[in-house]
Amino acid sequence: MDQAGPENMSALSWRDRAARVFEFSLPGGRRWRVGPLPAIMGVLNVTPDSFSDGGLYPDASSAVEAGLRMLREGADLLDIGGESTRPGSRGVSAEEQLRRVLPVLSGLRDAAEAPISVDTRDPRVAEAALRAGADIINDVSAFQAPGWEGVLGEPSVPLVLMHMRGTPADMQLRTEYPRGVVLELCEELGRSMESLCAQGVSRDRLILDPGIGFAKEWRHNLQILDGLGKLLELGRPVLVGVSRKSFLGPVLCPGGGAIVREPVERDVATVAANAFAALQGASILRVHNVAYTRDLVDVLGALYHCGSAEAEESGGR
């Protein structure tokens, strides 16, 4: 079941947000409900070279504890990645990704019932992760490469489709959007959706990610957040991943200031950007700092319930 809010909106009223509820089937007969408030996806990169948390977890036990801590802090689901996709990064073999990911996935699956997503461009990694207990597959290349038939044929596995051009190694050479970044990314994501649907994938399984920082200049990312309502018109929940990303640097240091914020110093800016994204209609916020984002969503929740109660009271007069 999904109920989408009205089209052609730049920001959601509380009543509009109440209509944006999506339900997904998960493996094992479970259900996952997203909305009306954004779900918090905790980022758990088990890599040596991710831009923010690379190398933080030298072994599986430390990564499992970090994931469990995110859940205690209020994450609704986790996203495990075994390959960095930062600009300029090169691919990692399926074998190496599985060596990094599977022990962490197994440890978390044994200890927690929350949905677990695996972030990979490799269908072999995805299939093995699903066998090991993953629920969701998150592919920055939107499942357009060959070999995904096995994953696409699993009816109870939600799929996150992200907008990117090229590969992480060359994507920043593909940042021309002569008709506007929002229009072109919506068209390209729309084509990715239709390609999957033509292969028999139900639209009810799809989650859309505009790909903040992927084949985008820093100003493009601001334009995407401002135009997020256009992406909502595709009728699927939108995942936004602004957490600690480099486009926040020029915002925090206008005019090329000498002080450059490290990724971990961009958490407050991340909360500000996520607040805007949430009010524009984002359904999932992918973040490194779960505790800050939990505070954000709890405040939005209090305002939402206040606004909903007021609307009901006014309607009853």
Catalytic residues: 245, 286
The alpha helices in 177-263, defined as continuous H runs, are 181-198, 218-226, 228-232, 248-252
User: How many beta carbons lie within 10 A of that of residue 273, not counting itself?
Assistant: 23
- Phi and psi at residue 116, to the nearest 5°: -125, 125
**Residues 270, 244, 116, 150, CA torsion sign:** positive
Q: E-assigned strands of 55-172?
A: 77-81, 116-119, 136-139, 159-162
Report the SS3 class of residue 34. strand
Task: Spell out a b/e string for 276-314, using b for 16 or more CB atoms within 10 Å of the CB, else e.
Answer: bbbbbbbbbbbbbbbbbbbebbeebeeebeeeeeeeeee
Tokens of 100: 């990094």
Sheet holding 21-25, edge to edge: 2-3, 21-25, 31-34
Q: For residues 199 and 191, give the distance between their C-alpha atoms in angstroms, rounded to a whole number.
A: 13
Report the SS3 class of residue 204. helix
**Residues 91, 92, 94, 100, CA torsion sign:** negative
Q: For residues 193 and 167, give the distance between their C-alpha atoms in angstroms, rounded to a whole number.
A: 19
